[in-house]
Amino acid sequence: MLFSKLWDKTTNFATHFIKKAKSKYMNMELSEQELLRRKAAEQIRELGIDPYPAAEYKVNAKTKDILEQFPKDNSLFQDVSIAGRIISRRIMGAASFVVLQDSVGKIQLYIKRDEICPDEDKTMYNTVFKKLLDIGDIIGVKGYVFVTQMGETSIHVKELTILSKSIRPMPIVKEKDGTLYDAFTNPEMRYRQRYLDLIVNPQVKEVFIKRTKIINTIREFFNEQGYFEVETPVLQNIPGGASARPFITHHNALDIPFYLRIANELYLKRLIVGGFDGVYEFSRNFRNEGMDRTHNPEFTVMEVYVAYKDYLWMMSFTEEMLQRVALAVNGTTKTNWDGKEIDFKAPYQRVRMSDAIKQYTGYDITNMDEEALRAACKEMKIEVDSSMGKGKLIDEIFGAKCEEHYIQPTFIYDYPKEMSPLTKKHRTDEGLTERFELFVNGKELANAYSELNDPIDQLERFQQQLKLQERGDDEAMFIDYDFVRALEYGMPPTSGMGIGIDRLTMFMTNSPSIQDVLLFPQMKPEKNNNE
């Protein structure tokens, strides 16, 4: 009943917000430029030209290819068809110059009135081109490539077609002597209007091209090993596989609450039970937690699980994978981030967690109970609360005192059992688990285990998490009885690893904020829809 009321309140608010936003948009005041552009679109229609034609426009070249290949062989591109956006133009009577931008670069167009209007009717040039087209409009042109007297590779236009009229003016970025003026740099506007960011700041596109290359390289690496890419549910009735606060939603047909997944781990391990030797997934995960320069509530994780392996094997596998990614993306294992040079060349340093804490705090946590850990946190002025168990307290100590020291890729391994409810007990050290996290520049990049496959032990670990929930820990795990049942059928020894694709992209592209590597990061609603 409580959930039903909460859901009704949430849906009513969402409906109200959508109606309010629509009303503002429909009734917003238009600027003088917007009114002029809309009028221009209507005038183009009155001339019998559709400013948004439906027919295919066949393109046979890209700006980058022309600029790279034509100087070497000027017999190429003598019948070129290209399309893109008008970025700037200089109208000079019966001839004009335009800079056209497509998906890979920019090129100059030379447009002569008598070339695009060979008959007596000069309307296309004198009225449409000179008066009704604007910066931001998308056009298609046909012609041939030549080099101007100033030495600039250009297209001599023989035919011009309007493909899309822009009715909202773009920011105009001016460049003089290598300096940009009036650049579109406001972070909030860039993230909120990513489409405009990509137009005005085309270098931004390189980040997302590299992001795709990172994903493709990892995929190729796994496929070479014979592992299978799979898909697991985004809507889950139990949010398992991680310690995190979930987003909650409602399934109308079943009339039960569902959660957006916080991790895909438990489903992937079910597939190992089912007989796959290796599975992986690039998954969109959701955690209803804070936002900062390295965290976003919606993020991408790659998780891989391989049967008959352990966490020691996974360390070597992970560093080999990351070395390959760095070479594929940047041509070198070295990258710069946050003013530091980071080298992803294998092998990486390996440090036991207890040794790291002892080195940077002086405390030996090996045999500390919860009370002793809480006292140590107080002495080190680390803020903790009563909901935190032993695992959370150790995590707080490591995060506050140790993480920042690991700049080069470093495996921190052998975590206390209380921190790792899904991890196999250590083969020699009671109280520890076979787990590692990879830290780069003081940030966690990857997390991996020798997976817990003892169903009795797993149920007990889940029950311990339930006790933490009762103490007020809203990030403690739920009990997934079906997963325990799967383990009861037998899961082979397995190692799994998850790596944050967003954070990896940040490192590989020298991007200071996670918002820079997400095409559409979460943001607060606009206060004024007329902006």
Give me the residue label for tokens 């803020």: 383
* Mean pLDDT for the stretch of residues 141-152: 96
44-72 pLDDT tens trace: 999 999 999 999 999 999 999 999 999 89
DSSP assignment of 218-229 equals HHHHHHHHT-EE
The confidence score (pLDDT) of residue 27 equals 57
Q: Cβ atoms within 10 A of the Cβ of 486, count?
A: 21
The two structure tokens encoding residue 412: 């921190």
The confidence score (pLDDT) of residue 531 equals 46
Q: Crossing angle of helices 311-330/204-225, nearest 10°?
A: 140
222-260 pLDDT tens trace: 999 999 999 999 999 988 888 888 999 999 999 999 999
* Mean pLDDT for the stretch of residues 297-318: 97
91-109 pLDDT tens trace: 999 999 999 999 999 999 9
**Residue 106 near residue 100, CB atoms below 8 Å:** yes
The confidence score (pLDDT) of residue 241 equals 84
Has residue 365 got a pLDDT over 50?
Answer: yes
- Please state the φ and ψ torsions of residue 348, each to the nearest 5 degrees: -105, 155
Distance of alpha carbon 106 from alpha carbon 173, whole angstroms: 14
Residue 66 burial class via C-beta count within 10 angstroms: exposed 0-12, middle 13-18, buried 19 and up: buried
**pLDDT-derived band at 451, boundaries 50, 70, 90:** very high
The confidence score (pLDDT) of residue 290 equals 86
The confidence score (pLDDT) of residue 401 equals 96
**Residue 439 near residue 499, CB atoms below 8 Å:** no
User: Which architecture, in CATH terms, is 37-170?
Assistant: Beta Barrel (2.40)
The confidence score (pLDDT) of residue 2 equals 45
Distance of alpha carbon 220 from alpha carbon 497, whole angstroms: 17
User: 424: closest CA among 468, 390, 457?
Assistant: 457
Mean per-residue pLDDT over the chain, rounded: 91
Q: Fill in the DSSP letter of residue 175.
A: E
Q: Which of 56-60, 324-328, 346-350, 429-433 has the lowest mean pLDDT?
A: 429-433
Distance of alpha carbon 261 from alpha carbon 279, whole angstroms: 18
* Mean pLDDT for the stretch of residues 74-100: 95
| Residues 153-178 as b or e (16 or more Cβ within 10 Å = b) | bbbbbbebbbbebbbeebbebeeeee
430-445 pLDDT tens trace: 889 999 999 999 999 9
Does domain 204-348+408-517 correspond to CATH entry 3.30.930.10? yes
- Would the pTM of this model clear 0.75, i.e. be above it? yes
Residue 376 burial class via C-beta count within 10 angstroms: exposed 0-12, middle 13-18, buried 19 and up: buried
Has residue 179 got a pLDDT over 80?
Answer: no
Question: Tell me, what amino acid is at 261?
Answer: R
374-417 pLDDT tens trace: 999 999 999 998 888 888 899 999 999 999 999 999 999 999 88
Instruction: Kindly tell me the sign of the dihedral angle through the C-alpha atoms of 218, 220, 221, 227.
Output: positive
**Residue 183 near residue 515, CB atoms below 8 Å:** no
The two structure tokens encoding residue 430: 């009671």
The two structure tokens encoding residue 434: 């076979």
